[in-house]
Amino acid sequence: SMVTWALYAQPSVTVGPWTVVAGVRPFRHNAFGRDVTWELSTAYRITEQGPKLRAGYAQGFHAPTLNDLYFPGFSNPDLKPEESDNYEIGLDHAWLGGRVTTSASLFHREVDGLIQFGGSIPENLGETEQKGAELEFAADLGRGVSIQGHYAHVRAIEEPSGEELLRVPQRTAELALRYAPLERVSFDLRGSFVGSREDVGRQRLKHYHLLDAGVSVRLSRFAEVYARIENLLNREYQEIVGFPTH
């Protein structure tokens, strides 16, 4: 079994248009020992109702799972934890009295020992780098109709070879439309796009796009019934080489 003991503290302070948040997490993992991770972020409100600039840094620690270590035939008991440094800057803004929100971010992530399936078993890579940009928006169109979208462009490579990380698409996008004619009832339609990416053996998987639909009925504060149809247009695509999906 694996057990992690941890404490987490997150003080914050706001002075005028500035907000600063810090975090520290000392922990002990029964298999991988003790460590401490920390994070620091700040935000600056340009005007009272105007855009907000933000920036942040965070360390990460991710231990391999029990399946990664011990699943028969598909595991690696010599795996080490991943350790990462994450940087992000962004700009957020609300328009039309908050009915429309937009966000733009640039990010950079460096991971030492990334766990990746390069064949039948997981392996630790050396140093890897992921950097890119994200755009998000959400809008309340009135009469129970809302829309939101997301686009990301990522460059993910293994260093020093410069080879692409497996199964990390360079481009992804999503657009979702929601209609709630009643307080307890909602319908949603969600389209997604996943760009081409490399897989095992450096085989390149084609891009694909999907359309999903769903309905949700809230019965009470504690109960909800929902139904969902995935891949509504019955597109054929592959998330992993050799395993086509409909």
pLDDT of residue 245: 83
Query: What's the pLDDT score for residue 1?
Result: 79
Q: What's the rounded Cα separation, in Å, for the pair 212 and 88?
A: 31
Q: pLDDT at position 84, please?
A: 98
Q: Is residue 54 packed enough to be buried (19+ CB in 10 Å), middle (13-18) or exposed (0-12)?
A: middle
Q: How many residues does the chain have?
A: 246
Largest CA distance in the chain: 58
Determine the Cα–Cα distance for residues 45 and 201; give it in Å rounded to an integer: 48
User: Do 76 and 122 meet the contact criterion of CB atoms below 8 Å apart?
Assistant: yes
pLDDT tens across the length of the chain (246 residues)? 789 999 999 999 999 999 999 999 999 999 999 999 999 999 999 988 889 999 999 999 999 999 999 999 899 999 999 999 999 999 999 999 999 999 999 999 999 999 998 778 999 999 999 999 999 999 999 999 999 999 999 999 999 889 999 999 999 999 999 999 999 999 999 999 999 999 988 899 999 999 999 999 999 989 999 999 999 999 999 998 877 887
Q: Which residue has the tokens 């064949």?
A: 119
| The two structure tokens encoding residue 44 | 């600056």
Residue 2: per-residue pLDDT: 86
On whether the CB atoms of residues 15 and 8 are closer than 8 A, the answer is no
Tokens of 134: 């994200």
- Alpha carbon distances (Å) from 86 to 40, 55, 109, 112, 133: 11, 11, 5, 12, 13
